Amino acid sequence: MVAQQETVLSDEQAKWLQEAGTSVKRNAFYMKRALDDDNLREALRYSAAMLGELRTSLLTPQRYFELYMQAFNELQHLEGFFRDETKKGRSYADLYELVQHAGNVLPRLYLLCMVGACFIRGGEGAARDILKDLVEMCKGVQHPTRGLFLRSYLCQVSKGLLPDTGSEFESEEGGRIQDAVDFLLLNFTEMNKLWVRMQHQGAQRDRDRREKERQQLADLVGKNLTYLSQLEGLNFELYQGQVHPRVLEQVVGCRDDLAQQYLMQCVVQVFPDDFHLGTLSPLLAALPQLQPGVKIHVILSSLLDRLARYASVQSTVVEAFDEAGVFQKLLEAAKSVVTQQSGMQSADVTAMYIALVQFTSAVYPDRLDYINQALTACHTALAERSAQEGEGVGAEKQLVQLLSIPLDSYDVVTVLALDKYPSVMALLSPPTRKEMAVKIVDAILKTGTLVDTVQRVGMLFDFIAPLATDVEGVEAPEDDEDFEEEQNLMARLMHQLKAPTLDGQFEVLKAARDRITQGGPNRLKHTIPAIAFAALAVVRGLSAEGQQGQSKTEPVLQFIHSLTAQLAEAGGAAEMALQLFLAAAQAASDEAHLDVIAYEFFEQAFIIYEEAIPDSSSERTALASIVGALQRIRVFSPDSRASLVHKATGYSAKLLRKADQCRAVLACSHLLWQEEEAQADPPSANGDTPAPAPEPSATDDASPDDSSPAGRTSEAVQLQAPVRDAEGVMSCLKRALKIAHAAQQQTAVARRANDTEPVSLFVEILNHYIFYFEAGLPTITASVLQNLLDLVQNDMAGDSCQKDSALVAFYKNTLGHIELQRARGGPAAERYKQIKVPA
Amino acid sequence: MVLVLCIGDLHIPHRQTDLPSKFKSLLVPGKIHHILSTGNLCTSEVYDYLKTVCSDLHVARGDFDEPNKYPDEEVLQVGAFRIGLCHGHQVVPWGNTSALALLQRRLNVDILVTGHTHQYWAEKFENRFIINPGSATGAYSTMTTKPVPSFVLMDVDGDKATVYYYELHGEELKVDKSEFSKSA
């Protein structure tokens, strides 16, 4: 409907324009012919007729402009003729009189303007008087569009003829800069009045279209200001004393949204930076008085952009800003706009503060307090508005933008000092608040910023509260995956909490723990492992500094203990808790040399294994980890170690499947045979002297008077010599064989004749015999190995085994290993020579 | 020529924030044909990331991976090589060459890729090859006191494998190379 209407309108417009244009052309033709005939009177008649077409009220400003330009071009001919006329001796004063005879006011005024300009240019008349005359006479046209174009014409033709300082038209009679300013200001004022009046023309329903048309005319009005700013003689005093107050008076006084919006920005754009600095107070004072529909933040932000650019070019400007108290003025202005413009949208309020914070971070990079003040003011304004309206703040996009400025300008640790930041964040809706928190964490991770003090950790957690705790009003995350991603982000963040000293680091981790534990069990699960590992690194650091032992490492290990216990209690994280206990046990042994604590960690791991490991696959992994970790431990006295080994071996035998049992028991055999350390004494040359199970090396300096583990507090002890219990290994291996036999019988009972698993267990056991044979265990003699080898060879001969290519390869590889070892030379090779390898 | 990336024990987010950016910029998508991961990716985000580097991704379960997500062992054929993959926490004593060789005989593989110790290591053992690419993030380890980030890129050309080993010391990237060919 509307579109259709507009097409009709536009068709009509084109028709009217064409008609008027034709008339302009025709009259121009006759005008030029009259000029050729040197018939001035006729020429004036036709030119008046031509200009008469501009009296139309039918055309839109856009079309009217086209017609105006057409007439404007034709007028050039007349102007040229006038110049020639004066050379022939006719004075401009005569011409000035002559054109007054034009019948209609509009053509007459156009002609007067043109002649008037020639008059000044020719030096015949005083610029001051003629300009004053013209600008006053133009009041005769009060129709907005016609008047605006007429005055625009006046402005256009008189450009360069003003009695500006240093201009050839400046003189005692011709006038001074003051007259040039007066002329432009008066023209500006009159044009603005016409422009504003336009909105009251015509029907109310056409208002939108009319405003659009008015918008198109804005530059005609603004041209006066541009010319003003281009005056050579316009110094600061003149600007401050006259131009600025008179322009603002007009702008504020016209009470028109469109005009105020355009002209305020025009003022900001056209006049120089230092003028703005000097007139900042009155300029800012005008802002709150503007119409409610004016986008004040847009004006303010162009002003602040200019000031910031000004400051970036000249270093002395910032000092000048300080002297002028620029920041305080801006802040007060923003506050006062908020107070007086009660209808201002929250989004616009925020946009205004965005401009202010951007300005501050650009001009005063080290004045964080300014940013804080701006945030405070913004928070106050928005909180009040939302309280009054009884609904949320809205303005999410702008608030996010506002909060992002400090993150982009400073590193996050600096931003943490903005104590008002979290309150502004709190104005966001919960989902957006969380997004903002994610953004903060991302910024830390991306830049690798370290959060290095307890205080900062506290502030950080305030900032990212929506990630660390449940937020009121938000349901628990619906999507587990999203929640997990969020919490993984938090876990990664924990590694950025890093103090320069180990003591400080421990404090930082404790502070993080305090905050993390407020987040409930679901969050704990993700973040506790990260804190625990960071704490393990502290233990390692202390050990590297030679600070093993109770006073330093014990509190850290206790901290890890309580964290891991919390994790175990949280539920659903049993495997992780078990692994953490094992890692901590190894640290307690390797780094801190605290046997009692290491034992406690193992005990906790065993309890979890017994009570909380959910399925057999997890059981296998958990048991492998327990055995692997315990195998390495060197801190335990033989008694403590024996109980743990006993327990672990017991678990192995309790696994459901015989094959799993057998493999686990084989792994447990290694608990009784630790490797020599690289720097320790090499094993005896022929390898058949058994290393005796070592006595507990209770040393004088470490554990002076107590040999019972139960009664001891955690004193650092010396590491024990490696365990070398050849008998124990042998009994483990025998146990494995027994299980493999049982498995074999089981398959027979179940008539699974093709099940080769028992045989592959035998091959695996054989390989363990080989392992220990090479390690030189006195219990694994050549004949023991030979017996097993023969047994396996016998089993392997079976049909089903021969069909199992993986098993055949395993066995073949095993024999191949023996061959290679035998060929290699050295002590093991010698002993291998006693072995008869089946062909 | 087939490029095989061996990478594992990242332990994100439990022990480290991220893969070093230097490594990330080396691991551009579209260059690598297979990834053999020694596990401990810990989260699906890390798995997804590796998938973007190369979609043919094989992962062995690490002691910090979710149960039942990845197999304990895997064997695959690349060029002339049978390659076995196992995280290594199941092989006691941890990191022990003889124990790993035992696993290698059982899996019947020419090359065994294993992790867990967070220490790069490559050894030729009885005409077979064992590689540990270390921890790609240089994560804390109970076994290695000062782990550095490392991974291995294997260039397999028929029966010849060139092993490039990348290690990050602070900001300095060190690259080392060794060769292994399959004897008949």
The predicted-structure confidence for A699-721, as pLDDT tens digits, reads as follows 333 333 333 333 344 577 888 99
Please report, for the domain that includes residue B58, its CATH number. Answer: 3.60.21.10
In this predicted structure, what is the pLDDT of residue A548? 60
The predicted-structure confidence for A659-676, as pLDDT tens digits, reads as follows 999 999 999 999 999 987
Whether A349 and A481 share a structural domain = no
Indicate the pairing of strand B111-114 with strand B73-78.
unpaired
Instruction: Choose, out of A591, A813, A822, the residue to mutate when testing the contact with B (most B CBs < 10 Å).
Output: A813
Whether A402 and A423 share a structural domain = yes
The 3-state DSSP class for residue A173 equals coil
With beta carbons under 8 A apart, name residues in chain B contacting A492. Answer: 12-13, 16-18
The nearest CA of chain B is from the CA of A474 a distance in Å of 25
Q: Pick the last residue of a domain from A409, A428, A447.
A: A428
pLDDT band at A693 (very low <50, low <70, confident <90, very high): very low
Q: Look at residue A520 and tell me whether its pLDDT is greater than 90.
A: no
Q: Pick the last residue of a domain from A396, A428, A460.
A: A428
| Residues within 8 A of B (CB atoms), A 672-691 only | 674-675
In this predicted structure, what is the pLDDT of residue A550? 67
Cα distance from N-terminal residue to C-terminal residue, chain B: 20
Distance between CA atoms of residues B80 and B109, nearest Å: 11
Q: Look at residue A313 and tell me whether its pLDDT is greater than 50.
A: yes
Amino acid occupying residue B63 = D
- Residues of the domain holding A7: 1-125
Cβ–Cβ pairs < 8 A, chains A and B:
115
In a domain, residue A165? The reply is no
Q: State whether A632 and B94 contact (CB < 8 Å).
A: yes
- For chain B, say whether A438 makes contact (Cβ under 8 Å): no
Please report, for the domain that includes residue A572, its CATH number. Answer: 1.25.40.660
Whether A719 and A757 share a structural domain = no
Residue among A615, A628, A771 minimizing CB distance to B98: A771
With beta carbons under 8 A apart, name residues in chain A contacting B64. Answer: 576, 579
Q: What does the mean pLDDT of chain B come to?
A: 95
In this predicted structure, what is the pLDDT of residue B142? 95
Whether A644 and A789 share a structural domain = no
Of all residues in chain A, the one with the smallest CA distance to B42 is A488
The nearest CA of chain B is from the CA of A232 a distance in Å of 58
In this predicted structure, what is the pLDDT of residue A686? 39
Whether A624 and A556 share a structural domain = yes
The predicted-structure confidence for A59-96, as pLDDT tens digits, reads as follows 888 899 999 999 999 998 888 888 877 777 778 888 88
Q: Taking the model in full, what pTM does it have?
A: 0.81
Cα distance from N-terminal residue to C-terminal residue, chain A: 99
Joined together, the tokens standing for residue A272 give: 């120089």
Q: Please count the structural domains in chain B.
A: 1
Amino acid occupying residue A260 = Q
Whether A407 and A438 share a structural domain = no
- For chain B, say whether A631 makes contact (Cβ under 8 Å): yes
Residue among B17, B68, B104 minimizing CB distance to A495: B17
Average pLDDT estimate for A449-455: 94
Q: State whether A624 and B92 contact (CB < 8 Å).
A: yes
Joined together, the tokens standing for residue A323 give: 């002297």
Whether A421 and A288 share a structural domain = yes
In a domain, residue A805? The reply is yes
Average pLDDT estimate for A425-430: 90
Residues whose CB falls within 8 Å of the CB of residue B15, separated by 6 or more in sequence, listed in order: A495, A530, A533, B137, B139, B140
Of all residues in chain B, the one with the smallest CA distance to A625 is B89
Whether A562 and A624 share a structural domain = yes
The nearest CA of chain B is from the CA of A364 a distance in Å of 33
Instruction: Choose, out of B9, B11, B14, B102, the residue to mutate when testing the contact with A (most A CBs < 10 Å).
Output: B14
With beta carbons under 8 A apart, name residues in chain B contacting A675. Answer: 93, 96
With beta carbons under 8 A apart, name residues in chain B contacting A583. Answer: 142
B128-132 β-sheet, strand order: B73-78, B81-86, B111-114, B128-132, B121-125
- Residues A420-448 as b/e (b if ≥16 CB within 10 A, e otherwise) read bbbebbebbeeebbbebbbebbebbbeee
- For chain B, say whether A579 makes contact (Cβ under 8 Å): yes
Whether A418 and A403 share a structural domain = yes
Own/partner contacts of A498-504, CB < 8 Å, gap of 24 or more, are: A498/A450, A498/A451, A498/A452, A499/A452, A499/A453, A500/A452, A502/A538, A502/A541, A502/A542, A502/A545, A504/A452, A504/A453
Whether A455 and A557 share a structural domain = no
In a domain, residue A135? The reply is no
- For chain A, say whether B98 makes contact (Cβ under 8 Å): yes
- Residues of the domain holding B35: 2-181
With beta carbons under 8 A apart, name residues in chain A contacting B62. Answer: none
**Dihedral sign, Cα of residue A265, residue A269, residue A275, residue A278:** positive
Whether A298 and A341 share a structural domain = yes
ipTM tops 0.85 = yes
pLDDT band at A742 (very low <50, low <70, confident <90, very high): very high
The nearest CA of chain B is from the CA of A829 a distance in Å of 14
In this predicted structure, what is the pLDDT of residue A473? 58
Q: What does the mean pLDDT of chain A come to?
A: 89
Q: Look at residue B174 and tell me whether its pLDDT is greater than 60.
A: yes
In a domain, residue A509? The reply is yes
Average pLDDT estimate for B25-32: 94
Q: Please count the structural domains in chain A.
A: 5
